[in-house]
Structure 1
Amino acid sequence: MLMGAAGSKLEKALGDQFPEGERYFGLENFGNTCYCNSVLQALYFCVPFREQLLEYYANNKSAAEGDENLLTCLADLFTQISSQKKKTGVIAPKRFVQRVKKQNELFRSYMHQDAHEFLNFLLNELVDILEKEANAAKAPSPDNSVSNKIANGPTKPQANGFHKEPLVTWVHKCFQGILTNETRCLRCETVTARDETFFDLSLDIEQNSSITSCLKNFSSTETLNAEDKFFCDKCCSLQEAQKRMKIKKLPSILVIHLKRFKYIEQLGRYKKLSYRVVFPLELKLTNTTDNSDLEYSLFAVVVHVGSGPNHGHYISLVKSHNHWLFFDDENVEMIDESMVQTFFGSAQEYSSNTDHGYILFYESMVGKS
């Protein structure tokens, strides 16, 4: 806990170097809830996401007292943290954790859970709630259905009625990117492209590699032949083809999940890969649609501590106002930026260091001075 010398030392450092309104609170662990705490810290310091949540809470205060859901519980927790009188301390996210367990049986046990699965569940659940609320708010009454059609523009008719444009929530605006799955028939050269959206990119990793090389592999071309031939609609037959996944639109907040847990058939179980994967503080990516370079800055890392997938611990590193902090449940410390590279992984197969970067949060530098 933040007590005694460590607490006052952090308090002093924060007082000198951080804005008045910023808060740095540890989160109490309710028996193996570090997977939840580490992700919550990363999301709290994702400023556009936090601001939207606080605004949501302010606009829905009365509703929050009535119908409780995961969104109201999270908005309530973030508001509690941001409105504390002191800069540091510990908060118990009890209501939020209880809601998570109520909502999803996967998180009900006291077993070690996966932080990436939790992040996925949380973002998708928030989107569902926001979409339901938006649809309920704009359900047309008989007299304004005509004006609704005019406001929303022409709709494309489909076999089962009308085609509705998907709703874009503020969660989408923060995290959603678009991938294009391209398949080129090698006989007629026809390219079949299918778009799909993502909230995070899951990357396969190799020993002594980097995020840039993992992303290159992610977009590399794969040949489909033998039993894997592709059915080409133009040729009306199975053909050899080349397939690749391209990033069509990069998100404002890029979340990268390193696939550190791999199923090994010979062992009949999952094994943790402690591979050294370098993740830079500044990441340059080419936006494939217009070939412009986009720059991203690392602001949070969820770290898995432990040698296996079924046990261990999660902590998070967070960058706030050009300083790095270390969050381990109730404990919060300031750390030097150079510490971040100790979480790249190990260049050796067996190493005493089991603290490895697992989920990386990058923010786009567009519009930032």
Structure 2
Amino acid sequence: MCSGVVPHPLGARGCDEVEKLISIDLRSSLRDFVSIYLKILQKPRKNPQKPTKTRKNPNPQKPGVANPDWEYAPLVVNTLPGRTVANRPPDSFVGLKNGGATCYMNSVLQQLFMVDNIKRDLLAVELDGAVSMGDSGTAEEERKTYNVCILKQLQNIFGHLALSKLQYHVPTGLWRHFRLQGRLVNPREEQDAVEFFTSLVESVDDGLKAQGEEQIMSKHLGGLFSDQKICKECPHRYAKEEPFSILSVEVRSHSNLANSLEQYVKGELLEGADAYHCERCNKKVATVKRLCVKRLPPVLAIQLKRFEYDYEQGSPVKFNDYFEFPRKLNMEPYTVAGLAKIEGELVDAEENPGGAPLTTKYRLTGVVVHSGQATGGHYYSYISYRYRNGLWRWYKFDDSNVTECQMDLGELKKQFFGGNELGLGIDLDQSKSRLPITYMNWCTFCAFSIGGKLSGRSERSGWLEGWSVRVELGDEGEKGDLWLVGTRRGGNVGGVCERGGCE
């Protein structure tokens, strides 16, 4: 069960100081941002009742040289009249405020932020100044403007999640500007988390492309399907590549992920009237049509299809079937190379350029959970994070609250696998808006470097301190994100402030 974390408020400070903080130019470096942040917090309060006490430096760098991290006491900061935000508990992460029904946004944003390589690359991108969301000309220009705006909003959110001393950040910019299917979202209306994920990934990459930058989301989340047609009556086969950022698998009629993936690549036989026309033979032949993975991404997102629209009832339905998935996943049997190996065939050189070994082993690092019914409920995330000592810790990200929790096999089954078994805490009172039993909507498997063992900085903020990378060979054939070590290279880490964002 998740253990609670008690906030540690230490006073109050007005909105005016925070507004100065978030008005830093987007092109300022991350180090400048931190420096100004510290100056603001060190500034004496107006008419203080008691002097602000500073904590003793428990680990001084040098005699007579103060550690700036210990020269101030984090304070409770006012965000709205009559409301305050407590400071972030130690050894925890920053949450995200729920705008009424934006839990679907928060659960996905936290998953993306906790992938070190994604947040590192996004915050390292230098962008131009403010973007006007008014009439910008042609439809294509408006789309480019919108995509750059969403990119900047994501940089802003990631910057606050990385640096804020507060319990949570309020992503008002994203609420104001984000669109689904061309329409502005209402923060008080719940949307589908997977639809938000795919739309966000596409917009961010298009925004990067418009700025002449590398498409970061595709780099870390993008894979390639191979849509194969294998003729049974002749030696010919055809394949068409299709990019993907999330892999969707069926839940109904399957009890676990392995069975669903096996059905995924098994395909269907096209024969008779449905036979495929072989262009080389110039005739219809019985053909197996299947979809397998040609190239796996560093971070693999898998959607469990628990939601479906019932056209007879005219409303969405949710399948609460029991469905297992493992902590570790080997995707080799579902790849082009893996299937060729099983079937005793050779893999074309273009399927595996350079003859490099295919990285197919993944570890479960995140799960987005949906609690409730198809017509309404609540999203939240569970995320596993690796620390310097090599241990993994699980955290529950529930909007503004982030708590550490235990995730043994029993808890994994209780929280993620669904089903209507006794002992899972089912609440039969359907009038309650939130049921204790939870069902997984989609999960993320984080990839690890094949034959690699992480080394270097491993504290939560260690990636901020260096860009160079070092890898030591290990004994496990898994792959994963590399820790960043060494000295920070020149260049700007921007996108952490409101100014220079969208107007």
Q: How would you bin the TM-score normalised by the shorter chain?
A: 0.7 to 0.9
Q: Kindly provide the amino acid, as one letter, of the partner of residue 81 in structure 1.
A: L
- Asked if 1:296 corresponds to 2:374, the answer is no
Offset, 1:226:
4.1
Q: Which has the higher helix share?
A: 1
2:444 corresponds to: 361
User: 1:224 and 1:90, CA in 2 relative to 1: closer, same or farther beyond 3 A?
Assistant: same
SS of the counterpart of 2:6? helix
- Provide the C-alpha distance between the structure 1 equivalents of 2:168 and 2:269, rounded to a whole number of angstroms: 53
1:278 corresponds to: 324
- Provide the C-alpha distance between the structure 1 equivalents of 2:180 and 2:314, rounded to a whole number of angstroms: 32
- Provide the C-alpha distance between the structure 2 equivalents of 1:227 and 1:311, rounded to a whole number of angstroms: 43
1:111-166 CA distance string (max 9 Å, x none): 3210000000000111111112118xxxxxxxxxxxxxxxxxxxxxxxxxxxxxxx
Aligned residues: 320
Cα RMSD for the two superposed structures: 2.9
2:412 corresponds to: 340
- Asked if 1:33 corresponds to 2:102, the answer is yes
- Provide the C-alpha distance between the structure 2 equivalents of 1:99 and 1:261, rounded to a whole number of angstroms: 27
- Provide the C-alpha distance between the structure 1 equivalents of 2:180 and 2:247, rounded to a whole number of angstroms: 28
After superposition, residues 230-241 of structure 1 pair within 5 angstroms as 230-241=276-287
- Asked if 1:328 corresponds to 2:408, the answer is no
Q: Kindly provide the amino acid, as one letter, of the partner of residue 171 in structure 2.
A: P
- Provide the C-alpha distance between the structure 2 equivalents of 1:73 and 1:293, rounded to a whole number of angstroms: 33
Q: Kindly provide the amino acid, as one letter, of the partner of residue 281 in structure 2.
A: C
User: 1:106 and 1:342, CA in 2 relative to 1: closer, same or farther beyond 3 A?
Assistant: farther
User: 1:14 and 1:33, CA in 2 relative to 1: closer, same or farther beyond 3 A?
Assistant: closer
User: 1:102 and 1:206, CA in 2 relative to 1: closer, same or farther beyond 3 A?
Assistant: closer
SS of the counterpart of 1:343? helix
After superposition, residues 92-131 of structure 1 pair within 5 angstroms as 92-101=170-179, 104-105=182-183, 107-108=185-186, 110-131=188-209
Q: TM-score, normalised by structure 2?
A: 0.58
- Provide the C-alpha distance between the structure 2 equivalents of 1:364 and 1:96, rounded to a whole number of angstroms: 28
User: 1:364 and 1:221, CA in 2 relative to 1: closer, same or farther beyond 3 A?
Assistant: same
Offset, 1:300:
1.3
Checking the alignment, whether the CA contact within 8 Å between 1:229 and 1:239 is kept in structure 2 is: yes
Checking the alignment, whether the CA contact within 8 Å between 2:359 and 2:449 is kept in structure 1 is: no
Offset, 1:172:
1.4
Checking the alignment, whether the CA contact within 8 Å between 2:228 and 2:291 is kept in structure 1 is: yes
SS of the counterpart of 1:173? helix
User: 1:117 and 1:239, CA in 2 relative to 1: closer, same or farther beyond 3 A?
Assistant: same
Offset, 1:221:
2.6
Offset, 1:6:
2.4
- Asked if 1:251 corresponds to 2:297, the answer is yes
Q: Which has the higher strand share?
A: 1
- Provide the C-alpha distance between the structure 1 equivalents of 2:110 and 2:265, rounded to a whole number of angstroms: 30
Offset, 1:264:
4.2
SS of the counterpart of 1:80? helix
Checking the alignment, whether the CA contact within 8 Å between 1:225 and 1:241 is kept in structure 2 is: yes
Q: 1:69 aligns with which of 149, 157, 167?
A: 149
1:315 corresponds to: 380
- Provide the C-alpha distance between the structure 2 equivalents of 1:12 and 1:103, rounded to a whole number of angstroms: 37
Offset, 1:52:
0.9
Q: Which runs of 5+ in 2 are unaligned?
A: 10-85, 133-147, 339-357, 387-391, 428-435, 454-503
The percentage of aligned residue pairs carrying the same residue is 26
- Provide the C-alpha distance between the structure 2 equivalents of 1:345 and 1:134, rounded to a whole number of angstroms: 42
1:57-93 CA distance string (max 9 Å, x none): xx33xx2445661001110111122122x2x501101
- Provide the C-alpha distance between the structure 1 equivalents of 2:399 and 2:241, rounded to a whole number of angstroms: 39
Q: TM-score, normalised by structure 1?
A: 0.78
SS of the counterpart of 1:276? coil
Q: Kindly provide the amino acid, as one letter, of the partner of residue 247 in structure 1.
A: V
Q: Kindly provide the amino acid, as one letter, of the partner of residue 327 in structure 1.
A: F
Q: 1:50 aligns with which of 101, 119, 125?
A: 119
Q: Kindly provide the amino acid, as one letter, of the partner of residue 359 in structure 1.
A: W
Q: Kindly provide the amino acid, as one letter, of the partner of residue 177 in structure 1.
A: G
Checking the alignment, whether the CA contact within 8 Å between 1:64 and 1:72 is kept in structure 2 is: no
Checking the alignment, whether the CA contact within 8 Å between 2:370 and 2:440 is kept in structure 1 is: yes
1:287-319 CA distance string (max 9 Å, x none): 735445622111111111112x22111111111
Offset, 1:214:
1.7
Q: Which runs of 5+ in 1 are unaligned?
A: 136-167
Checking the alignment, whether the CA contact within 8 Å between 1:345 and 1:356 is kept in structure 2 is: yes
1:82 corresponds to: 162
User: 1:270 and 1:236, CA in 2 relative to 1: closer, same or farther beyond 3 A?
Assistant: farther
- Asked if 1:7 corresponds to 2:90, the answer is no
Checking the alignment, whether the CA contact within 8 Å between 1:101 and 1:108 is kept in structure 2 is: no
